[in-house]
Chains A and B, each alone.
Chain A
Amino acid sequence: MRILVVINQVLDPAGIAVSRRAQRLFINREEYVINPADLSALEAALQLKDESGAQVVVLSAGPERVTDAVGQALSIGADRGIRVDLPGEDPAGRVTITAAAAQKLVPFDLLLTGDRVWDSDGAQIGPRVAEALDLPQLISVDAVSCTDGKVDAIQAVRGGFRQIEAPLPALVTLPPHVNRPRYGTAARIMQVYRDPEAVERWTADDLGLTAEELPPRTAAAARTFPEPRELGAPMRGAPDEMAEQLAAVLRARAGG
C-alpha cells in the first residue's frame, strides 16, 4: 500500500505580529512550519503505516525552503520525500504540478492532505488534485482507515459523527488539530539532516510540464486588517435576558 501526503509550508504566525492600529504586518522572525492541517494528514498516514506497513511518500510543491518541511516529514516517519519546484504562487499552478507528480507515483492507494492552508484560501487544492486524477473525495474527516480495497472515514456532522466510505484510490482531507502529530526521534532527525540527498527534487521539466501550462491565473492583491478590538462594558440586568444574549453569541461562534 502506498500513501501520498501532500504538504504545504506556511509562515509561522508565532513569528509575525499583526498591528490592527498601524494596519500592517510585522514579520519579526521569518520561519516556516508545516501547515497544521497537512500535519494532521501526515499523522493519519503514519498511523496507517503503523497498522499496515504502508509506504508514506510526502510531496510538496514550492521554493527551496520547502525542502525543510519535507525533511521534517521524513524525520517524523515518512519513507520518501519529494519537493517539486513551483514557479509562482497560483493555486491552479500548484494543482497542475502536484497532480503531475502524483501521476508519476501511480499506483498509490490514498492521497492525503489538509483541508485548508492556513495562510491562503487553499481549501481548493485537495479537491482540484482529485478532479485532475479522477479520484473520489472524503473531505474534512477526523479519522481514516483502510480495509480490502476501500477507505473508511469518520466525518463530523451537525450533532455528531458519521461514517463514510469510498473505493481506493481516493483523496482524503483532514482539518487541523484532529489528532496529535508525533515528533521525530533525535537519531532520525540527525540522519535526515546529514543526508543532502534525503529530499528528492523534481522540476516541472521532469514532469513534462512547460511554462505555458503553468500561467499565473490569480495574483495576491492588497492586505487589509480588522478593526482594533473594542471591548464591551459589562452588562447588568436580569440573568435570563443576558443568558439569551450569550446564547446568540454561542450559536454564532460555536456553530451550534
Chain B
Amino acid sequence: MDLDHLQALLGDTGEAAPTEAIESTRDIWVIGEAAEGEGGAQLTPLTAQLLGKARELASDLGAYVRAALLGHRLGGLSDELVALGADVTHLADAPELKGLALEPALHVLATLFEEFRPAVALFPAGRLGDQIAPRLAQRLGGTLTTQCLALQPDLATRAITAAYAVYDGEYYEGRTIVAEAEFGPDTAIQMFSVLPNVFHTPDPDRYRSGTVEPVASDLSGCPARVKVVGPVEYQRPTLPISKARQIVALGHDLGDENLAAARELAARLGAEIAGDRTAVAAGWIDSEQVVGLMGYDVAPDLYLALGVRGSTEHNVGLEKARFVAAVHPDPAAPIFSAADLGLVAEPGEVLRRLKDLF
C-alpha cells in the first residue's frame, strides 16, 4: 500500500511527521517459536496466535508488526511469519541457537531489542516467555507479565493491561503497566508471555508481503553455561493425593480385569491413583488414597473416575477439582452429577480404545 497516497487522501499534510517518526520505530514484536515437524521446522500454533493478536494491537496502536525467530535451519519460515501477519521478519539462524540455549538466545534478542526498542513484545509461554523473557526484561529495564490470558491496550496511554490466573485459575487478576507521563522513545518495553489457545489462530494470507531482515550476530562471546547431560531415569516421590495435579480414581465397577490398564493409563498421564471406599475393599488402593468425606479432599486439574459410582460422600471430595471426567456403565450413577464429561460406558471398553489413542 502506498502510504503517501493514503495520507494525501486523508488530508494529512505531513505536519505530524516527527511524532510519526518516533512511533514508527516502536513496533509490536512477536518472538516466534519453531518446532521440529515433518519436513523440517514449523511455526507452533501459539506463534500464529501471537501474530494474530499483534496485528490487532498494531492496528489499535498504529504500529508495524515485527517477528523474530531464533533457531537452526529455519528456511522458509519467514514467508510463513509474513503470511500470518508480520510486516518485517528477523531470522536468527545459527547452530548455537538450536534448542534455544539461554546465553546465545538472550544475546540475539537483547541486541535486536536495543536497536529497535519495541513498544510491545509478545512471547510464547514456556522456554522463551518464562525463562528468557524475564532476563531480557531485567537486562533492558522492561516490564513483563507472564502467563497472560488477555491483553487490553489503553489507546490514550499505550499501556497494556494483562490478565493472568492466580491460584491455578481460581480467579484472574489484571496487571497494568504504570503509564509514564508520555509515550516516547525511552518508555520501557512492555513484554508479555502468553499461554496457548487464548487468542484465535489467524488464517494465513499468502499474498501479504513483508521484508526479511537476517540477523547477523557473533555468538562466540556467549557460550551456553547449562549443559544437557542426557536422559535419566527418575522416580518422583509419591505425593499425597490432596496435592496431585492429575488423578485417576478407581471404583468397584471398574472390574479386576481392567485394573492393570487403568494403572498403565495413570502412569502415562503422570497421574496419582486414588479411589472410593469400594476400591479399598477390593484391595486396589489403601486408605491414604480415598477421596471423599471419609478420605481426602482433592483439587486436581484432571480427575478421571473409572467405574466410580460416586456417592454423595465421595463427590464432596471433588468440589475443588478443575475438571472431572467419569466413565460408568449406569446412566443413573451419581458420579455424573459431579462430572464435566460423563461417558456412559464400560470402563474396560473405553480403556482398551484409549490405549491406542493416548
Contacts and interface: CB of A to CB of B under 8 A. Distances in A.
Interface in B297-313: 301-302, 304
Contacts of A186: none
Given A154-B234, A167-B225, A218-B145, A13 B353 contact: no
A256 B268 contact: yes
B175 A220 contact: yes
B198 to A, nearest CB: 13
A187 interface: no
Nearest to B152: A221
A209 interface: no
A247 B134 contact: no
Interface in A205-223: 215-223
Interface stretch (A49-57, A58-66, A132-140): A132-140
Contacts of A131: 134-135, 138-139
A221 B357 CA distance: 43
Nearest to A255: B270
Interface in A1-33: 13, 16, 18, 25
Nearest to A20: B171
B177 A165 contact: no
Contacts of A215: 178
B170 interface: yes
A119 interface: yes
A93 B315 CA distance: 44
A245 B326 CA distance: 12
B177 A239 contact: no
15 contacts: A121-B146, A121-B175, A127-B134, A128-B137, A161-B231, A166-B225, A166-B227, A177-B244, A217-B143, A219-B176, A223-B173, A239-B343, A249-B323, A250-B325, A253-B246
Interface string A159-176: 011111111000000001
Nearest to A91: B144
A143 B245 CA distance: 18
B78 interface: no
A142 interface: yes
Contacts of A142: 234, 236
Contacts of A128: 134-135, 137-138
Contact of B178 (A16, A219, A222, A226): A219
B2 interface: no
A224 interface: yes
B14 to A, nearest CB: 35
A154 B245 CA distance: 20
Interface string B226-255: 111111111011010001111000000000
A225 interface: yes
Nearest to A89: B175
A180 B244 CA distance: 12
A77 to B, nearest CB: 18
A180 B242 CA distance: 13
Nearest to B135: A131
Contacts of B302: 249-250, 253-254
A106 interface: no
A124 B169 contact: no
B171 A224 contact: yes
A23 to B, nearest CB: 9
A177 B243 contact: yes
A162 B353 contact: no
State the 3 A-B residue pairs at the shortest beta-carbon distance, nearest first.
Answer: A221-B174, A234-B342, A243-B353
A234 B229 contact: no
A251 B346 contact: no
Interface string B327-358: 10001000011111111111001100110011
A253 B173 contact: no
